[in-house]
Amino acid sequence: MKSSKKVLLMSTYPIKGALTGGPLRVKAILEEYKKHFKSVSHVAVFSRYHHPAGYEPTDIAVRGDLAQATRYAPDTSDYLIGKAIATDKELRARVIAYIEQLHPDIIQIEQMFCWIGLKDAIKDLSYSPQITYSSHNIEWSMKKELLDGLGYKREDIAQMIEDIKSAEYDLASKASAVFAVTKADGESLVAMGAKSYTLARNGVFPLNAQEKDIEYWRAYFAQRGIEQIAVFIGSAHPPNIQGFKEMIGFGLGFLKRNQAIVLAGDVGTNIMDNLDRQDAQQFTSLRRLISVGRLSHPRLQGLLSYAHTILLPITEGGGSNLKTAEAIASRKPVVATTKAYRSFDEFKDAPQVLLADTRQKFKDSISRSFEENNVTKLDSKVDVNSVLWSVCLQPMSQKLEEI
Amino acid sequence: MKRNGTVWLDLTDLQEWSGHFTGVQRVVFEYATRLVSDKSLNVRFLRFNQYHKDIKEIRYEDVFSNENDTHPTQVEGVHMDVKDRIKQQLIRVSGSLPPFLQEQLTQDRKKKLKQVAKKVYRGAQKAKHGAAVLKHRLVRNVQPSSYKAVTLTDQDTVLIVGKLWDYPEYVDLLSVLKQKVGFRYIQLIHDIIPVYQRHLFGDGLFEPFSNFLFEAVSGADELICISDSTAADVRFFAKDIGIQKELAIKRIQLGDTPQITAEATKPDFVSDKEKFLLTVGTVEVRKNHQLLYSVYKLARERGVTLPKLVVVGGNGWLTENMRFMVEHDDETKDTIVFKSGVSDTALKWLYQNCLFTVYPSIYEGWGLPVRESFAYGKYCITTKRSSLPEAGGTMAGYASGYDANEFLEKITETLNNLAAITKKTQKYQPYTWDQSYETLRSIIS
């Protein structure tokens, strides 16, 4: 029987049509909660410039000068929006009015940024909802690492990092429940003031490729003389790009003519846009490197189904890896770094997984995976279903029912 | 794996060639003429048809018959006859003019008439060449029933010696076929200069060349290089593109026997007793003629008189500014003379009668002009860049390709000691194309 508690999830991005990363996790949480609670909603406080088409009518888009400020700050718009929930009178009023109208018993903050402003704005409410924190990463250190990597000056971002850090500490210590994607993150949150944490790692929806989508890719690659592909799916998040460069790079002459590495998602677009076409190594990599860009969900499923090997060249970044869960659920051969399997340790010794932590070993593993040509070398002792969202997020709904 | 099939030599870049064989085409020709007569191998020829995007068999005689105008000496014979005949006619006509008209033919007017005649002649040659190319294209690309599609098997060997990079679709097709069929693929690499020395070429070559080289180095069963320097460059490229295994590259030396059997004929731009230096090669930035300009200017500045420099070679790229300077500078316009379209027999005369040759190239795959100079018994001053020390050995003189002073000093030293310095080169034994072919044959078989 479903609980009568009303739950509202809040984030700084819409989740309509979510395919990757944070939005996909929130979408999965929403679906999971709907199985256990009668009333579950999500609201995004977001910038239309970064999500021009995919949002719900009830999502709250920032306006005016604030919207302009976020337009040219894709790396810090989450912070700007979060802060503005307190400081921008118009936005504050709209957010509070929405919450009042919905009157949730529990407000779950997805990725702490809304809390930067909400911790103050919440005083405007006529009642006191419970707050839970759904952490996807240790945000203050991730943001610092991201902005450092992009070349921001320390003095320019110091206040921002401090605001995020103090809000994250505040949320961790005040939340009625704290959810973490890895044990390491959970322990960090306890150190930041959380009384305890509930582990709810990232998962995937079951692979459900249609034959027509698989056939699409078969024809696409056949036209290019390619018969075996190793796929790396990712956003343009810097750790994805860094991981590709560190573990694979552009020297792809070790691949045979009928083999290719395929990049799906913005990781591919970013790498292609920044390719130096006057450098012999980078230019000739295009003979064995294909970017298929952002894909619809069915096409992505088809690509995963068609792929011979999944690549997980993850070398940095916190949180746990949606891509790892996807790779496990696909039952395909995987070439991955040890870091990619953090929080999925029970899967890393499976026979279809080749772990490699140096570039040469990673490339040799790709060749070996192609050579072995063993599409589903699955270890029957491993329960692949345990990476599905429904299993991974069950602890969250259980905890929410308890509080 | 021992293969019992056919050895296919690719003749793609010769099928549309018309005129004098130079460089890469010359190499293809020399090997083709020996392969076709080699009864120990089952040799056939193929070519890529870029209009139909397929590979067809082609007969040796379709590419190299006299009537198709592609034999080098045949073309040059025609070239010489026409030019000589026109010249003779002009001399005869001017001689038979009435005295009052002959008086009007001042030196200046004669010179202008000569320039007009040259332009008319060049225009006629271009039209003739264009007609020949069109004829070749029509002949080659209409598909007579005798042009069969080639079906390669894993017992076959495909030998590529020519400029595959000019046909990107052929590179793709061949690489896919190689993967699918498993024939033996042997690639001869002359040089890889366009990949890491992009500054020496205009736009548009780096990409097709790099793509070709990537497929060749990653896909070929045998790589043959024409120098140790090229082999080292190829190994560097292999590492760059992520091939970790050590490549086994075979080495081959190109022949340098003088090919022109006809008697040498003196060109009209050099007078009988004139002493001159010679440099032979396409006028492109890599051959570094700009250094020679600096050398001659420096000589002038120091009051040193150098012999005339005859530059023989077709027009290349990235040299317009240098040519303008040389040809408009009063100090050099008569001492450095550029000549293109020089006949084989005239070139032979130039080699035989020059004091020595200079070849200040910045980068080479081998350095055939250095060896050709030796084949004529002539000393050559070149640079120590890339493969040139291999080609020059202990017979050549060396100076920096970036130091006009050093190069000038080498030239003046040579001029002052010519007899002693050129003793060695006069005993040089040319490396024959037959010898080169033997190496190729041992690699194939």
pLDDT value at position B357? 98
pLDDT value at position B260? 76
Listed by start position, the domains of chain B span 7-66+143-255+435-444, 73-133, 276-426
Picking from B130-134, B315-319, B404-408, which range would have the lowest pLDDT averaged per residue?
Answer: B130-134
Cβ–Cβ below 8 Å for B206 and A283: yes
pLDDT value at position B69? 38
Neighbouring residues of B299: CB distance < 8 A, sequence distance ≥ 6: B305, B306, B408, B412
Residue A24 to chain B, least CA–CA distance (Å): 36
Stretch A10-14: mean pLDDT, rounded? 96
CA dist B240 → A173, A244, B181, B360 (Å): 52, 17, 27, 29
Enter the CATH code of domain A3-203+389-402. 3.40.50.2000
DSSP of A301-340:
HHHHHH-SEEEE---S-SS--HHHHHHHHHT--EEE-GGG
Stretch A78-84: mean pLDDT, rounded? 96
pLDDT above 70: residue A380: no
More confidently predicted of B18 and A269: A269
B411 CB burial (10 A radius; 0-12, 13-18, 19+): buried
Cβ–Cβ below 8 Å for B242 and A249: yes
Mean pLDDT of chain A: 92
Helix (H), strand (E) at residue A259: strand A259-264
Tens-digit pLDDT profile for residues A49-61:
888 668 999 999 9
Tens-digit pLDDT profile for residues A125-157:
999 999 999 999 999 999 998 898 888 999 999
> Pairing relation of β-strands B184-189 and B357-359?
unpaired
* Superfamily of segment(s) B276-426: Glycogen Phosphorylase B; (3.40.50.2000)
Q: What's the CA gap between A394 and B263, in Å, rounded?
A: 95
Q: What's the CA gap between A297 and A318, in Å, rounded?
A: 25
Q: What's the CA gap between A213 and A298, in Å, rounded?
A: 7
pLDDT value at position B113? 78
Q: How many helices (H) and strands (E) does chain A have?
A: 17, 13
Residue B68's pLDDT band, with cuts at 50, 70 and 90, is: very low
pLDDT above 70: residue B139: no
Long-range contacts of the stretch A122-127 (C-beta < 8 A, 24+): A124/A92, A124/A96, A125/A96, A125/A99, A125/A100, A126/A100, A127/A103
Cβ–Cβ below 8 Å for B237 and A225: no
More confidently predicted of B365 and B140: B365
Residue A142 to chain B, least CA–CA distance (Å): 33
Cβ–Cβ below 8 Å for B179 and A225: yes
Residue A228's pLDDT band, with cuts at 50, 70 and 90, is: very high
Structure tokens of B7? 């050895």
Q: What's the CA gap between B250 and B227, in Å, rounded?
A: 9
Alpha helix (H) ranges present in A55-182? 64-71, 77-87, 89-102, 113-121, 139-149, 154-174
Q: 3-class DSSP state for residue B421?
A: helix
Chain B residue numbers with beta carbons less than 8 Å from the beta carbon of A250 are 242
DSSP 8-state symbol, B231: H
Phi, psi for B306 (deg, rounded to 5) = -105, 150
Tens-digit pLDDT profile for residues A364-375:
999 999 998 765
Residue A344's pLDDT band, with cuts at 50, 70 and 90, is: confident
Enter the CATH code of domain A211-387. 3.40.50.2000
Chain B residue numbers with beta carbons less than 8 Å from the beta carbon of A258 are 176, 179-180
Tokens 């699918």, residue located: B180
Phi, psi for B33 (deg, rounded to 5) = -65, -25
Structure tokens of B376? 């004529």
Residue of B nearest to A287 (CA): B211
Residue B210 to chain A, least CA–CA distance (Å): 7
pLDDT above 50: residue B403: yes
pLDDT above 60: residue B152: yes
Cβ–Cβ below 8 Å for A287 and B196: no
Picking from A187-191, B146-150, B282-286, which range would have the lowest pLDDT averaged per residue?
Answer: B146-150
Long-range contacts of the stretch B70-75 (C-beta < 8 A, 24+): B70/B14, B70/B17, B70/B18, B70/B19, B70/B21, B70/B136, B72/B20, B72/B21, B72/B26, B72/B29, B72/B259, B72/B344, B73/B259, B73/B260, B73/B261, B73/B262, B73/B344, B75/B18, B75/B19, B75/B20
Residue of B nearest to A226 (CA): B176
pLDDT above 50: residue B144: no
pLDDT value at position A329? 85
Whole-number percent of chain B with pLDDT over 90: 67
Listed by start position, the domains of chain A span 3-203+389-402, 211-387
pLDDT value at position B109? 77
pLDDT above 80: residue B66: no
Structure tokens of A82? 């979060």
Residue B74's pLDDT band, with cuts at 50, 70 and 90, is: very low
Q: Which of A155, A114, A101, A112 is nearest to A137 (CA)?
A: A112
Test mutation, B212, B214, B239, chain A, max A CBs within 10 A: B214
Residue of A nearest to B179 (CA): A257
Tens-digit pLDDT profile for residues A199-209:
998 888 888 89
pLDDT above 50: residue B296: yes
CA dist B339 → B122, B201, B270, B309, B328 (Å): 13, 22, 11, 11, 16
pLDDT value at position A236? 87
Whole-number percent of chain A with pLDDT over 70: 96
> Pairing relation of β-strands B43-49 and B54-58?
antiparallel
Residue B186's pLDDT band, with cuts at 50, 70 and 90, is: very high
Nearest to B219 among A250, A257, A360 (CB): A257
pLDDT value at position B78? 30
Residue of B nearest to A278 (CA): B206
Residue of B nearest to A363 (CA): B242
Residues of A at the B interface, defined by Cβ within 8 angstroms: 225, 249-258, 277-278, 280-281, 283-285, 287, 360, 363
pLDDT above 90: residue A192: yes
Chain A residue numbers with beta carbons less than 8 Å from the beta carbon of B168 are none
Chain B residue numbers with beta carbons less than 8 Å from the beta carbon of A252 are 241-242
Q: What's the CA gap between B11 and B56, in Å, rounded?
A: 10
Residue of A nearest to B206 (CA): A278
Nearest to A257 among B175, B217, B237 (CB): B175
Cβ–Cβ below 8 Å for B242 and A284: no
Residues of B at the A interface, defined by Cβ within 8 angstroms: 172, 175-176, 178-180, 195-196, 198, 206-207, 210-211, 213-215, 217-219, 237-244
Tens-digit pLDDT profile for residues A385-402:
888 999 999 999 999 999
pLDDT value at position B79? 32
Test mutation, A275, A276, A284, chain B, max B CBs within 10 A: A284
Same fold, B7-66+143-255+435-444 and B276-426: yes
Q: Which of A284, A310, A299 is nearest to A370 (CA)?
A: A310
Structure tokens of B263? 């008697």
Enter the CATH code of domain B7-66+143-255+435-444. 3.40.50.2000
Neighbouring residues of B255: CB distance < 8 A, sequence distance ≥ 6: B30, B430, B431, B432, B433, B434, B435, B436
Chain B residue numbers with beta carbons less than 8 Å from the beta carbon of A277 are 207
pLDDT value at position A323? 81
A220 CB burial (10 A radius; 0-12, 13-18, 19+): middle
- A316: Cα within 13 Å, side-chain hemisphere: 15
Chain B residue numbers with beta carbons less than 8 Å from the beta carbon of A251 are 239-243
Inter-helix orientation angle A359-372/A238-247, to 10°: 80
Nearest to B207 among A253, A258, A283 (CB): A283
pLDDT above 70: residue A256: yes
Chain A residue numbers with beta carbons less than 8 Å from the beta carbon of B196 are 280
Residue B207 to chain A, least CA–CA distance (Å): 8
Q: What's the CA gap between B91 and B268, in Å, rounded?
A: 14
Mean pLDDT of chain B: 87
Chain A residue numbers with beta carbons less than 8 Å from the beta carbon of B198 are 278
